[in-house]
Structure 1
């Protein structure tokens, strides 16, 4: 029996799992990333956790055939990271080489949303499709493009950065420092920012009551929950967000023409109240032929998508 390790490195926590060759997670754990302590510290800590999981499963090190990692940043040739989003680490570090030096096991990596896309494509909502795009709608907006058996990462690892398509000239400021990005409108951060702006003017609504008048408590989920209760104020925000989401998805359809769009992340959990509006508006932004037979699905794997996809990099 052969085993593989999947690692999803996040800014706060890193999820680690040991899987079999079928992509089944046999055992997993989550540890603090502690990136402030440096890359070598973090990688050694991760490897120590892998060994603990292996011991609990009674798996010897020689049976682990590969380590896959999802990294928040652009990855070149599944080895080198151009820069780390939210990590105080140097640019262009060969993480593959470092991890192989620590573990003695073949290591491959890719962007964190790319490995989520790979997980959903092989084991989740995209199973059976050869052309899929996964859009992660969380604090930001990320994308993973899977075409004919391959992830599209581009020359410098920035392929699939869907969140930074420009939807408005001189639009809202994005976390990347530029203006008018898809991410500035369709992410959870974008939803909250739009809601806060409107709540400064109108407090006579279900959303304001739902957060007990405390604007610091506001989350994107509150907006969608209030909208589902029929709150006109919140429904207008959902309509606003869905317009930009349809615009962004439409651009993706026109460029990639996938069979399926997979939406994951917290904003996607809004479900039909958001998806129905996106589907309604999509013909305004996408060529008709790209919508024919198109499937739009919610991700199925949740927090396991990153681990599963990462492990598949070496299977």
Structure 2
């Protein structure tokens, strides 16, 4: 029996699992990434955690045939990270080479949202589809494109950065430094920014009461919760977000023409109150033929998607 390790590296926490060749997680855990301590420290800590999991499972290290890693940043040739989002590490580090020296195990990596897309495609909501796009709707917006058995990473690892499609000329400022990006309107950050702006003017709504008038308590989840309760103010926000989400997805459909779009992340958990509006508005932005048989589903794997997808990079 062969085994594989899947590693989902985040800015604060890193999720690590040991899987069999069928993609089943046998045991998993989460550790602090501590990127401030340096790349070598973090990689050694990850390998030490994998060793501990193997010991608990009574699996010999020699049975581990691959380590797959999801990393926040563009990845070239599944080995070199062009730059690290929110990590104080140098550019163009060959993480694969470093990890292989530490562990003696073949290591491959890809962008963190790409591995989520791979996990959902192989084991989750996209299983059985050969052309899929996964959109991670969280603090920002990330994407993973899976076509005919392969992830589309692009020439320099930036393939799938759909959050930075431009939806408005000279629009709202994005964290990337440019303006009008998809994620400035339809991410959790975008939801909060628009809601805060409106709450400055309109405080006569159940959402304002939900946060006891303390704008620092606002979360995107509260907006969707109050919309489900019928709060008109919150419903207007959902309508606003769904318009931009439909626009962004429509652009993707016109370029990629996938069979299925998988939505993951916190905003996607809003469920039907958001999805129904997106589906209603989608024909305004996408060619009819791209929508006719399209499936839109919420991701099924949750926090396991990254671990499962990462491990599949080496299977």
Partner of 1:267: 267
What is aligned with 2:172? Answer: 172
Separation (CA, whole Å) in 2 of partners of 1:224 and 1:61: 46
1:67 Cα offset (Å): 0.2
TM-score (norm 1): 1.00
Q: Deviations over 1:50-72 (max 9, x none)?
A: 00000000011100000000000
Displacement of 1:23 in angstroms is 0.2
Aligned to 1:46: 46
Instruction: For 1:234-253, list aligned pairs within 5 A.
Output: 234-253=234-253
Structure 1 position 31 matched with structure 2 position 34 = no
SS at match of 1:6: strand
Which whole-Å CA distance do the structure 1 matches of 2:277 and 2:229 have between them?
Answer: 16
Mapped partners of 1:81, 1:193: distance in 2: 31
For 1:56-75, list aligned pairs within 5 A. 56-75=56-75
Could you tell me which runs of 5 or more consecutive residues in structure 1 were left unpaired when the two chains were aligned.
none
Cα distance in structure 2, aligned partners of 1:55 and 1:212: 49
- Structure 1 residue 185 corresponds to structure 2 residue 185: yes
Distance in 2, matches of 1:68 and 1:117, equals: 14
2:146 paired residue number: 146
Per-residue CA deviation, residues 240-260 of structure 1 (Å, 9 max, x unaligned), is 000000000000000000000
Give the deviation of 1:219 after TM superposition: 0.3
TM-score by length of 2: 1.00
After TM superposition, where is structure 1 displaced by more than 6 Å over at least 4 residues in a row?
none
> How far apart are residue 215 of structure 1 and its match?
0.5
What is aligned with 1:276?
Answer: 276
Q: Is there any run of 5+ residues in structure 2 with no aligned partner, and where?
A: none
Q: CA RMSD in A?
A: 0.3
Deviation at 1:154, TM superposition (A): 0.1
CA distance in 2, matches of 1:277, 1:113: 25
The equivalent of 2:293 in structure 1 is 293
Once the two structures are TM-superposed, the CA of residue 146 in structure 1 deviates from its matched residue by 0.1
Question: Equivalents in 1 of 2:183, 2:82: separation in Å?
Answer: 21
Match of 1:84 in 2: 84
Correspondence 1:313 to 2:313: yes
Shift of 1:42: 0.2
**SS of match in other structure, 2:302:** coil
The aligned runs of 1:104-123 (5 Å cut-off) are 104-123=104-123
